Structure 1
Amino acid sequence: MMKVLGVDIGGTKIRFGIVDEKGKVYVDERVETTFPLYELLEHHVMRLIESYPEIEAIGIGTAGFVDAKNGKIIYMSETLPGWTGTEVKKQLEKATNLRVEVENDANCAALAEAKFGSGRGYERMVCLTLGTGLGGGIIIDDEILSGGPNGGTGEIGHMILYPNGQKCSCGRNGCYEQYVSGTAIQRRIKEAGLELSPFELFPKASEDPQAAKVVKEFTFDLAVIISTLQAALDMDAVIIGGGVSESASYWMDDLMNQVKPLLLNDLDIELASFGNEAGILGAALLVLPE
């Protein structure tokens, strides 16, 4: 059975997993993200190849805008300094003599859900990752929608919900991720004058009108986002993951009530099956046989 190395690159840690065709993870290692990043990546990849010579290919998921065809980082913020412009595929294939594929991390999470998780059985789905920001992966006819001249296809978090709204890290105002991400919820709590963490907010909403108002605004904005994506993509399902989804037992019913009148057609809305494992599984799927 084919085994590959899946790599999930984040701002604070890099996760490495050896994965087979059935999605079984044999080795799972984490290292702190330090810089220069490419040198760190190559060092640990070479170390793992030496220890596990059965590795046949390498799949890499990373934050940022990615030219997946050429395996190049088109743009990444200073969360990963020096990463913009790195030709990961070219450099790592030369170093390892193995096939290397590189993709955006949210797209990798969508691949994992489509193949092994809550997205199984759907030909067209959108995976929304509600974390520090808002990641989005789009699967159309069982293929990830990716690429574009600037590597920005599927950057759902940077579609605009409220023109002239909250300032976004991309430099524009009113992007989706400024309203439904973990960071956005923290801001909403502060603006409401509440002294709560995001995880305390949702259970508190049943007894605190101000907390309930914050949750209502969050679920309404998420409902509008889902209905807008449906109008553009006509998907079968939306899969919701990321840290914010861990509190979904408190707000999912409210979301369903808010989204129902906004939908053009029936739509399945499911919670993601995978938490932190989605990144390495999806990265592995970039190089595993279909």
Structure 2
Amino acid sequence: MVNVMGVDIGGTKIRLGIIDAAGKILYDEKIPTQFPLYPYLEENVLRILGDYPEVAAVGIGTHGFVDPKEGRIFFSTDALPGWSGTKVKEQLEAAAGIRVEVENDANCAALAEAKFGAAKGLDRVVCLTLGTGLGGGIIWDGKLLSGGPHGGAAELGHITLYPGGADCACGRKGCYEQYVSGTGIQRRIREAGLDITPLEMFQQAATDEHSQQLLEAFTYDLAIVISSLQAVFDMDSVVIGGGVSESAEYWWPQLLSQLKPLLLNPLDIQTAKFGNDAGVLGAALLVLEGK
């Protein structure tokens, strides 16, 4: 049975795992993200490969705009300083002597959910990762939709929701991720003059008017996002993951209520199955099956 390495690179930690063809994680390690990033990544990949010489290939999921054909980082925000322009595939293949593939981390999560998780067996799936930002991954007729001349395909978080709205890290205003991400929710709480966490806001919404208004604004905006994407992709299912989804029990009924009158057709909506495992499993799938 073929074993591969999956690597999930985030702004604060890197997760490295050895995964078999059935999606079972055989080895799992988390290390803090350090900079400069590439030499640190190479050092740790080679260290683990030394202990697992049977590993046939390495798949890497990372924040940022990625050229999946060349395995190069087109653009990354300050979350990963110095990462933009890095030729990850070329350098790591030369160092490790095995195949390396690189993809956006939200795309990797979509692969995991479509192959092994909530959307298993479905042909058209939109995955939304509600974390610090809003990641998007699209499975189109069973294949990952990614790439583009600037690595920006499926960057769903940077579609405009409110023209002239809140400043976004991409340099524009009013992007989806400024309203339905953890960061966007925190901004709205702060603007409302409250000193609570998003989880506390969700928990208090049943008894506190201000929290209820914030919850309704969040679920309405997320419903607009989902219904707009349905008009483009006519997907079988939407899978919602990321840290915000961990509190879904408090806002899921409100989302479905807001969404019902906005949908063009019935749509399956699910929370992600794998949670924090999706990134490393999806990265492994880049080299288990190809993109």
In 2, distance between residues paired with 1:60 and 1:174? 30
CA drift at 1:59: 0.2
Q: Could you say which residue in structure 2 is the equivalent of 1:209?
A: 209
Identity %: 63
Determine if the alignment matches structure 1 residue 244 to structure 2 residue 244: yes
- Give me the TM-score of the superposition, normalised by structure 2: 0.99
Mapping of 1:121-270 within 5 angstroms? 121-270=121-270
Q: Could you say which residue in structure 1 is the equivalent of 2:58?
A: 58
Provide the secondary structure at the position in 1 that maps to 2:85. Answer: coil
Q: Could you say which residue in structure 1 is the equivalent of 2:277?
A: 277
CA drift at 1:166: 0.5
- Cα deviations by residue, 1:14-50 (Å, 9 ceiling, x for unpaired): 1000000111001001111111111001101111111
CA drift at 1:289: 3.1
- Matched letter for residue 66 of structure 1: V
- Give me the TM-score of the superposition, normalised by structure 1: 0.99
Q: Could you say which residue in structure 2 is the equivalent of 1:72?
A: 72
- Matched letter for residue 247 of structure 1: S
Q: Could you say which residue in structure 2 is the equivalent of 1:16?
A: 16
Provide the secondary structure at the position in 2 that maps to 1:55. Answer: coil
Q: Could you say which residue in structure 2 is the equivalent of 1:101?
A: 101
CA drift at 1:195: 2.0
Which aligned runs of 4 or more in structure 1 are off by greater than 3 angstroms? Answer: none
How many residue pairs match? The answer is 290
- Matched letter for residue 219 of structure 1: T
Structure 2 spans left out of the alignment, 5+ residues? none
In 1, distance between residues paired with 2:57 and 2:3? 8
CA drift at 1:276: 1.1
Provide the secondary structure at the position in 1 that maps to 2:128. Answer: strand
In 2, distance between residues paired with 1:74 and 1:195? 37
In 1, distance between residues paired with 2:276 and 2:203? 24
Provide the secondary structure at the position in 2 that maps to 1:287. Answer: helix
Q: Could you say which residue in structure 2 is the equivalent of 1:34?
A: 34
CA drift at 1:194: 1.8
In 2, distance between residues paired with 1:222 and 1:243? 15
CA drift at 1:193: 1.9
